[in-house]
Amino acid sequence: MAQLHYPDLQVCVLAAGRGKRMHSNLPKVLHKVLGRSMIDYILHTVESLRPKGIAVVTGHASEQVREHVGQPANLSWVIQDKQLGTGHAVQQCEKVIRDVRDVLIVCGDTPLLSVDTLSALIDGHRAANSDVTVLTANPANCFGYGRIVRDEQGKVQSIVEEKDASADQRDIIEVSSGIYCVRYEVLFDLLHAIDNSNAQEEYYLPDIVPLALKAGQSVDAVPMADANEMFGVNDRIHLSQVEELMQKRIIEDWQRRGVTIEKPDTVRIEAGVSIGLDTTIQAGCYLIGSTQIGDECRVGPNAVLVDARLDDRVNVFAFSHIHGANVGSDTLIGPYARLRPGAELDEKVHIGNFVEIKKSVVGHGSKVNHLSYIGDTTIGSSCNIGAGTITCNYDGANKFETNIGDNVFIGSDTQLVAPVSIGDNATIGAGSTITRNVAEGGLTLSGRTEVKYLSGWERPQKDKS
């Protein structure tokens, strides 16, 4: 798709509302949909239009919103101290807007809104040479939306809010999305003329429609193809509904790009995740945060990946949990493995069942296949770490490191008491407790008790009396 560019457009994002129905300490627009806050979605969408500037109107908890967003170069913050209505909110932007052709007004709580829909609105507005253009929709349920009132010729006359509408007006099935494109030259004169004589005693933005008509200006409507896009979040039920729609969109996008997703209704793939070609995601997987998965991987079923990075051809078997770890190509993990932050696996590594790895490097081709804890450790290449090996990295107060060279064989049920290092090609006998450094090569084992054999010994029998 060709890149969009509207250098003569100013965007206003309305985000000052309290979001009372969320019942939250967090401002509404900071609530997350698939790991990304609502304000980030809308800002990303309007930034794709490459407008001249973006003004964000905040009021409730504005400091929190500003801290979250930071300070992009073309973004200005506008404070609306009292939330007197959507018209009043746009009015506050007057001092930060100048020398543009049109102003695009969107709300901060509609993360599903797409850039294609916005460019269709702007292009429609400009093609018709309109002064005021409203984006409209025919949703399955019109409750709560402003209704579009048209005359016999089909020209838009006004927008009537649910609370102000007559019974007949409530039957209208075309509603306002709350999103407008307005010619800059007329916008602020219209806003100065609105009043708050309505059911909510608010300065309604939609009231610019009859005022524009009265002033001999032209008003048009551009219908949107998918009414879901204007879905605004007012409470946590809406939040989960929007998340469901967004999840479907994200999953279908990955499917179109060559990812196989089994039982898509059971997986969660957050907005910041990326997945390579010919990778298969099996049922019940959670791919969270900034997780990146390479090509031809297989993940699941029921694996959880949080901020994880997998190179190509990695197999993550069932019920494995990977958080903040990097995994080299052709590596096998699980089932039931846990990689914690700072785990760095090279290529062709095998990590088996009930193995936990924390802040450790595992070298090329090394295997930790069963029941181990590896923490604060560096393992070289081609090592075999036997079942039940534990790195004792913590003395109750401080953490210590373990260093294992290349081609080392650690026998089963070994404890490596850190700080300790094991030289290249060393072999550690099963059941050892290693409390000092081990040289290269050779066999090292800690004291074992003698194995006795008592011939003729019999197991006790159960007393039958």
CA torsion angle 345 346 348 353 (round to 10)? -10
Q: How many CB atoms lie within 10 A of CB 271?
A: 19
Q: Is 310 exposed, middle or buried (0-12, 13-18, 19+ CB in 10 A)?
A: buried
Q: How far is the CB of 50 from Mg ion (least distance, A)?
A: 27
- Considering the complex, state which of residue 12 and residue 408 has its C-beta at the smaller distance from Mg ion: 12
User: Is residue 31 flagged as an active site residue?
Assistant: no
Residue 352 binding: pick among Mg ion, ligand UD1, none (C-beta 5-8 Å cut-off by kind): none
Pairing of strands 102-107, 175-183: antiparallel
- Considering the complex, state which of residue 116 and residue 235 has its C-beta at the smaller distance from ligand UD1: 235
Q: Taking the CA atoms of the chain, what radius of gyration do you get in angstroms?
A: 31
- Considering the complex, state which of residue 110 and residue 444 has its C-beta at the smaller distance from Mg ion: 110
118 Cβ contact partners less than 8 Å away, ≥ 6 residues apart: 45, 46, 49, 104, 106, 179
- Considering the complex, state which of residue 227 and residue 273 has its C-beta at the smaller distance from ligand UD1: 227
Q: How far is the CB of 242 from ligand UD1 (least distance, A)?
A: 13
CA distances from residue 257 to 261, 275, 357, 457 in whole angstroms, order as listed: 11, 9, 32, 69
Residue 88 binding: pick among ligand UD1, Mg ion, none (C-beta 5-8 Å cut-off by kind): ligand UD1
Give the integer Cα–Cα distance in Å for 207 and 12.
17
Exposure letters 418-457 (e unless 16+ CB within 10 A, then b)? bebbbbbbbbbbeebebeeebeeeeebeeeeeeeeeeeee
- Considering the complex, state which of residue 210 and residue 284 has its C-beta at the smaller distance from ligand UD1: 210
CA-angle at 275, arms to 273 and 276, nearest 5°: 155
Binding site for ligand UD1 (CB under 6 A): 14-17, 57, 80, 83-86, 88-89, 107-109, 145-146, 159, 161, 175-178, 204-206, 232
Catalytic annotation, pick one of 60, 68, 364, 370: 370
Residue 161 binding: pick among Mg ion, ligand UD1, none (C-beta 5-8 Å cut-off by kind): ligand UD1
327 Cβ contact partners less than 8 Å away, ≥ 6 residues apart: 308, 309, 310, 311, 314, 333, 339, 345, 349
Q: How far is the CB of 227 from ligand UD1 (least distance, A)?
A: 11
Residue 146 makes contact with Mg ion by CB under 5 A? no
Residue 205 binding: pick among Mg ion, ligand UD1, none (C-beta 5-8 Å cut-off by kind): ligand UD1
Residue 86 binding: pick among ligand UD1, Mg ion, none (C-beta 5-8 Å cut-off by kind): ligand UD1
Secondary structure class of 346 (helix, strand, coil): coil
Q: How far is the CB of 75 from ligand UD1 (least distance, A)?
A: 16
- Considering the complex, state which of residue 162 and residue 262 has its C-beta at the smaller distance from ligand UD1: 162
Q: How far is the CB of 113 from Mg ion (least distance, A)?
A: 13
* Residues 135 and 121 sit within 8 Å (Cβ to Cβ): yes
What's the number of CA atoms in the CB half-sphere (13 Å) around residue 392? 14
- List 59, 232, 294, 411, residue binding Mg ion (CB under 5 A): 232
Residue 145 binding: pick among Mg ion, ligand UD1, none (C-beta 5-8 Å cut-off by kind): ligand UD1
Q: How far is the CB of 73 from ligand UD1 (least distance, A)?
A: 23
Contact residues toward Mg ion (CB under 5 A) are 232
Catalytic residue list: 370
